[in-house]
A and B are shown apart, each in its own frame.
Chain A
Amino acid sequence: MRISPQTSEIVLNALQVSDQAEQTALTQLTTGRRVNVASDDPSAAALEVSIAYQMDSCDQYQRSISSVTSELQTADSSLNTVVTGLQQAISLGVEGANGTLSQQDRNTLAQEVSGISQQVLSVANLSYNGNYVFAGTATSQPPYVVNDGVPGGIAYQGNDGVNSVEIEAGQSVAVNQPGSQLFSAPGASVFVALNDLTTALQDPSSTTQDIGDATTEIRTAYDQLTSARAFYGSTVDQLVASADFLNSESVQLAQQQNSTVGVDMNVAATNLSNAEAARNATVQAAASMSSVSLMDYISTIDAAG
């Protein structure tokens, strides 16, 4: 068979192939990615869209968790002063129920209890970033206002609304405890109890039994508050656990992303040197191939003949 005398096409094509391989390896090395456009690996590219979304979500969940956690911790530590105040009120009530006290002594105790009530009111109207944290979802106005028309003299104008925040894909937690659960629960209102104790201490006709009953009321309110307050501790625990989970999830997603679209640097570097070697070999072969033909010898043959 006659061999094709046109070698330049073969050489050009071989050069194009090695150039292409060289460029691919170089792009992979400089970007650190095996998939630089979707056509490099369509399934991997589509998977990366999903991984990128999950990574974004992970980051956002973590930001939300950190913002919610600080609000919850602020609320929780404020409630601590209420707990201390109520414990103090109970001691005052126990002291007041002692039959040997004069009315003047009782009045002094009543003043202290009333002071505690003021302190609790200020905590109940705690605001965080401009939001009243114990107002349910009616966060734009103070939930507790002085109102002589209601029992205890302090009215709740918040609501029972509870907000939830998604902290992991498909998992949400409640992020607030309405004041109606903490300070003004039906039958266990902190303000009513404190007011009743104050009134009982101030009233000269009160028996030790009356003062004792008022103190028991405070105990009931105290129990309700501490049990409702447990929400904060347990929610923060859950948020911490979720944050830990999200941290490891982020790491895992980053690894998954890398194994999906990232490049093995060793492989890319080897590919690059292979492509360069192939190119050099082609160039050398082409150089030696095209340099000689029979034409070069005709004059020699003539001279000899």
Chain B
Amino acid sequence: MSGLFGTLSIALGALQAQQAGMQTTTNNLANLNTPGYSREVPILEEAAPIVQGNVTFGGGVELEGIQSLRDNLLDLQISDETQQQGNSQAYVNAMNQVQTLFPDDTTGIGAQISAFFQSLNSLSTDPSDLTLRQSVLTAANGMASAFNSTANQITAVSNQLDSSVQQQVQQVNQISQQIAAINVQLAAVSSTGQDYGSFLDQRGALIQQLSGIIDVSQIIDGTSLTLTTKQGAALVVDGQAYALSTATDASGAQHIYSSQGNDITGQISGGALGGLLQVLGQTLPSLQGQLDSLAGGMVQALNTANQEGTDLNGNPGGNLFDPITGAGAAASMTVAITDPALIAAGSDGTPGSNGNLANLSAVANAAVSNGMTPSGAYGNLVFQVGTSISNGTTDLNASNAMLQQLQQQDSSVSGVSLDEEASNLLLYQRAYQAAAQAITTVNQMLETVIDMGASGSS
């Protein structure tokens, strides 16, 4: 229909549309600082035109709906980069605790190894001197306890990381449940044809959180979502969350199991869990192994050397350290003797002979562990720990930079701009005022028409 009433209805439609715009703008402003929020815009369309004879009139405006602005591809990239960042961050944090156990200067195993061999040289100047002999024993004990405490502290770090793994898995389960719950609501809302942008925002924010903890792969089909680990262990399928579980194996190491009971510990490569598992599964065992090899190698070489000589009483030398090799050697390294006279410094049974000290000292230059000297093997450990952290830090910095860039890109699509919203506010306000003015005018015109009729009948 046309005429004044038609015009009035166009003006009313305009009022509604501008009001919707105003509401959207206000909602954007309200969520200015909400993490994961994507800005919304009203979708306005021309209403169907009205044709009268040869003339076509515009039908006004219609509010099609509210649209959230987001870039799904960017979201996926951010999720991937977040996984790498979480991985590097957890790795570097864990290894930083380990690094302090391998100092390169005047403390730690390296310094104790040095002190032990220096004490042997000192004893060679007066092999029958009990004070110098006691100094060798003291240095040997110092060296053993440096190995003990370093190995024990690595174990302590390892235990602590194990409990971190448990906590992180719990958090994965918690977030999976939240995502599943949102999926249920999302399905309900989308089936009624209402706007579900805010649910997508919430879900996206949770997926990013999850990406910080574990590697996730997402399959999105409309509103339906399947979340799995990169290797395919299910986390969320639509409204259903699948919980991961942890269990400790015989050696005390944490294992992670999928909801179907498969051990997926070795498959997790991203997020904080990926970093933790790399430290727990590879870096720490390798360091422990080398430390054990060094301790075991030194014990064996020093015992052999001591057995070649004669002690202060003229008797053949025995073990200097309790014989140990293999796993646990560093943690259990113990000096076997408490009597300084039992150090086999001599080579001819006389108390004044220092002939066997050369054999003991030669261990300092012998290949005791993987072809390396004691001090060399320790230096190599320092190098490995340092390299693992500096590489991890390089990865972390790269991820941070990449993530920052991606987030800026994302924000350029989805971020709320105060300036933009301010101008929209004005725009909608003015349009609303104009539409209201149109209604007033039409109203006056109708009054005129009604007055016209009244004066005609009177």
Chain A interface residues (CB < 8 Å from chain B): 1-6, 9-10, 13, 35, 37-43, 45-50, 52-53, 56-57, 59-61, 63-64, 67-68, 71, 129-132, 135-140, 159, 161, 163-166, 170, 172, 175, 261, 293-295, 297-298, 301
Residue contact A68 to B413, C-beta cutoff 8 Å: no
Residue contact B418 to A295, C-beta cutoff 8 Å: yes
Out of B102, B350, B382, B384, which one reaches A139, CB within 8 Å?
Answer: B350
The residues of B that contact A129 with a CB separation of less than 8 Å are 126, 129
A68–B113 Cα distance when bound, in Å, is 24
The residues of B that contact A13 with a CB separation of less than 8 Å are 400, 404
Residue contact A48 to B104, C-beta cutoff 8 Å: yes
29 contacts between A and B (CB under 8 A): A4-B408, A4-B415, A10-B408, A37-B99, A38-B104, A42-B383, A45-B383, A46-B380, A48-B104, A50-B379, A52-B104, A53-B113, A53-B114, A57-B114, A57-B118, A61-B121, A64-B122, A68-B125, A129-B126, A130-B128, A139-B350, A140-B128, A140-B350, A161-B350, A163-B352, A165-B124, A175-B125, A294-B422, A295-B419
- Chain B residue with Cβ nearest A290: B418
The residues of A that contact B376 with a CB separation of less than 8 Å are 50
Contacts A5-B415, A9-B407, A46-B379 given; indicate if A137 touches B121 (C-beta within 8 A): no
Residue contact A298 to B404, C-beta cutoff 8 Å: no
Out of B126, B389, B400, B425, which one reaches A38, CB within 8 Å?
Answer: B389
> Which of B359-406 touch A at CB < 8 Å?
361, 365, 375-376, 378-380, 382-390, 393, 400, 404
Chain B interface residues (CB < 8 Å from chain A): 96, 99-100, 102, 104-106, 110-111, 113-115, 117-118, 121-122, 124-129, 346, 348, 350-355, 358, 361, 365, 375-376, 378-380, 382-390, 393, 400, 404, 407-409, 411-413, 415-423, 425-426
The residues of B that contact A63 with a CB separation of less than 8 Å are 122
A162–B389 Cα distance when bound, in Å, is 51
Residue contact A166 to B104, C-beta cutoff 8 Å: no
The residues of B that contact A130 with a CB separation of less than 8 Å are 128-129
* List of 6 A-B pairs having minimum Cβ-Cβ separation, nearest first: A38-B386, A139-B352, A42-B386, A5-B417, A39-B389, A294-B422
Residue contact A38 to B99, C-beta cutoff 8 Å: yes
Residue contact B409 to A4, C-beta cutoff 8 Å: yes
Out of A45, A56, A61, A71, which one reaches B104, CB within 8 Å?
Answer: A45
The residues of A that contact B408 with a CB separation of less than 8 Å are 4, 6, 9-10
Out of A5, A37, A165, which one reaches B125, CB within 8 Å?
Answer: A165
- Chain A residue with Cβ nearest B425: A298
